[in-house]
Structure 1
Amino acid sequence: MMSDDETYRVRMTGVCKRYGPIQTLDDVSLNLKPGEVLGLVGDNGAGKSTLSKVLSGAVIPDSGTIEIDGKVVSFSSPADARAARVEMVYQDLSLCDTVDVAGNLFLGREPRSRVLGIPFLDNKRMHDETREMLDRLGIVIADTRLKVENLSGGQRQSIAIGRAASFDPSVLIMDEPTAALAVAEVEAVLDLIRAVSARGVSVILITHRLQDLFLVCDRIQVMYEGRNVAERKIGDTSIEEIVNLIVGRKFVARSARASRGEAAQP
């Protein structure tokens, strides 16, 4: 029989991070099950990006523990996280505009063949495998030889996600994947998130587009000023409640100040 610990793909417990006088993460926890899509939300400065960078190895926490599939891990670089099958797609995508689709997917690990003992880039294999990968994920791009600079924003985002998925991650973190995309492109990216999670990949989705959360997420975690504020199953909440959890404290504080000011006036 599987214990509770064994059901989690990721368990982050008591994570803290301070930059000088600024406490960006204060005793934060995060749990994630296999194939689950978790929406991680909060206002600017809430700590969600820092927490995701801790999990992806880009930021080293001051304290706290990370477990992947029940095993305690310690990441000092994104390479360490990748070795534990954790991938992150950043908002800037990190694509090479002047390189074609296949070249971006295989950047730094291009397939090679040998002729008379001399290694050569195996272009055919690279493009064939790229086509198979795109089709498997439902990414619609007609020609794998197109340069990335000629693709739409949604196609570029799909390539970045496809590249991360090609490393066979068990955890995929996405930072604002639908920002600045047209409606049709947003739907294509959300379909891709569904396809990735359906393959058993656990997904953390960071977004300010709260409506997207209710289309793909199983659960939402809200952060405020470096702390966990609330968790909600997607069927037990609404956009209105999530908005209140994100900014409600600020609105209450402003209202209280305004009321005191009005009361003090003659």
Structure 2
Amino acid sequence: MSTPVLTLDRVSKHFGAIQALAEVSLALHAGEVVGLMGDNGAGKSTLVKIIAGNFPPSSGTLAMEGRAVHFHKPSDARAAGIEIVYQDLALCDNLSAAENVFLGRELMRGLGPLRWIDYPAMRQRAGELFAELKSETRPRDLVRRMSGGQRQAVAIARTRLSDPRIVLMDEPTAAISVRQVAEVLALIRRLREHGIAVVLISHRMPDVFAVADRVVVLRRGEKVADKPVGASSPEEVTGLITGAIAAA
């Protein structure tokens, strides 16, 4: 098998006397979707925030394609090709889809000392990204008029701007309709088709088993399972999450 795009080796995280993660090891490969599951307080968010550069591990190491990396801030992780889609999506309702895709990274044109935002170029590129994702979202659409699935398309298109190698997704199918869930799962499959590794944090068992290649279960900061979804079952994962099953 090829070298993992990201490897975590015995990563731990302490917040004072509280141990949020205890020696968690994990490997992510290109074009792979990993479902990250666990109860509230299991350590999922802490693990993802370490990968995203929000804070460093207390111990353990991270490596990308075998080379050690140290992320001191989120921009370090983004520069290495790691993007994150937070549960709240961080979109501006009063702006268009294209403006949200380029938020903070607007394309500019200039003539002499004059500079202005190149809206036509932004709309064109955003349209290309939506077409890649096979989304019906249009660049001029206002976010406030969008469904939950369309909003996810905008947030995912924004990650594609930087040609990422890893996309972290925090509960992308929470609080949206069944039809919109299907749209979001299709978007995740598109990312996989482009060779991007995806970490899907979700409480929704059917979604994880529908789209993930592997399932990783955390319980009280420890990894208790890491296996192909085909070798597991929703019943087993539920047992692992609750502690009815010690490890798998």
Report the TM-score when normalising by structure 1: 0.89
Residue 153 of structure 2 corresponds to: 158
Shift of 1:38: 0.5
Aligned: 1:125 with 2:121: yes
Q: Distance in 2 between matches of 1:71 and 1:50?
A: 22
Residue 41 of structure 1 corresponds to: 37
Does the 8 Å contact 1:130/1:144 carry over to 2?
yes
SS in 1 for 2:168: strand
Unaligned runs of 5+ in 1: 252-266
Does the 8 Å contact 1:7/1:34 carry over to 2?
no
Residue 214 of structure 2 corresponds to: 219
- Partner AA of 1:189 in structure 2: V
Does the 8 Å contact 2:93/2:143 carry over to 1?
yes
Could you say which structure has the larger radius of gyration? 1
Residue 234 of structure 1 corresponds to: 229
Report the TM-score when normalising by structure 2: 0.96
Q: Distance in 2 between matches of 1:199 and 1:144?
A: 21
Unaligned runs of 5+ in 2: none
Shift of 1:98: 1.2
Runs of 4+ off more than 4 Å: none
Aligned: 1:110 with 2:110: no
Shift of 1:117: 3.9
Aligned length: 246
- Partner AA of 1:164 in structure 2: T
- Partner AA of 1:168 in structure 2: D
Shift of 1:121: 1.2
Aligned: 1:58 with 2:54: yes
Shift of 1:236: 0.8
SS in 1 for 2:181: helix
Identity of paired residues, percent?
A: 45
User: Larger % of helix: which?
Assistant: 1
SS in 2 for 1:7: coil
- Partner AA of 2:105 in structure 1: R
Shift of 1:115: 2.8
Alignment of 1:42-191 (within 5 A): 42-141=38-137, 143-191=138-186
Q: Distance in 2 between matches of 1:39 and 1:230?
A: 11
Q: Distance in 2 between matches of 1:116 and 1:164?
A: 32
Q: Distance in 2 between matches of 1:84 and 1:135?
A: 25
Q: Deviations over 1:166-197 (max 9, x none)?
A: 22110110010000110110000000000001
Shift of 1:116: 4.1
Q: Distance in 2 between matches of 1:116 and 1:88?
A: 37
Q: Distance in 2 between matches of 1:121 and 1:162?
A: 19
- Partner AA of 2:149 in structure 1: G
SS in 1 for 2:243: helix
Shift of 1:230: 1.0
Range that drifts further, 121-130 or 187-196? 121-130
Shift of 1:250: 9.1
Q: Deviations over 1:3-46 (max 9, x none)?
A: x6x52111001111111221001111111111111011001100
Q: Distance in 1 between matches of 2:160 and 2:55?
A: 22
Q: Distance in 2 between matches of 1:124 and 1:158?
A: 20
